[in-house]
Amino acid sequence: MEYTYEPKGVCSQKMIIETDGDKVKKVTIIGGCAGNTVGVSKLIEGMKIEEAIKRLKGIPCGYKGTSCPDQLAAALEKIINEKKTNI
């Protein structure tokens, strides 16, 4: 399943997340620091969604109080919540 998320408070503008059951299949982040966003995306591919959230949630970027990894965790949480409501 493919999901699109618009992050808030960070440099990236869009996150496209593909899932396969309870795992992250692929992540594409538009905008932001290319090396970091591509790196984070590749690191969580194949990982269980819950594990990715646990690792990424709460990571700050300078004074912003959030970051692209933190926003990715928020997107993954939204996906989990949507899946729960569609059951």
Number of domains within the chain: 1
Percent of the chain with pLDDT over 70: 99
Confidence of residue 12 (pLDDT cuts 50, 70, 90): very high
Q: What is the pTM of this model?
A: 0.94
pLDDT of residue 31: 95
Range of the domain at 78: 2-85
Across the beta sheet with 2-5, what order do the strands follow?
Answer: 2-5, 12-20, 23-31
Q: Residue 9 belongs to a domain with what CATH number?
A: 3.90.1010.10
Q: What are the pLDDT digits (tens) for 43-81? A: 999 999 999 999 999 999 989 899 999 999 999 999 999
Mean pLDDT of 29-54: 96
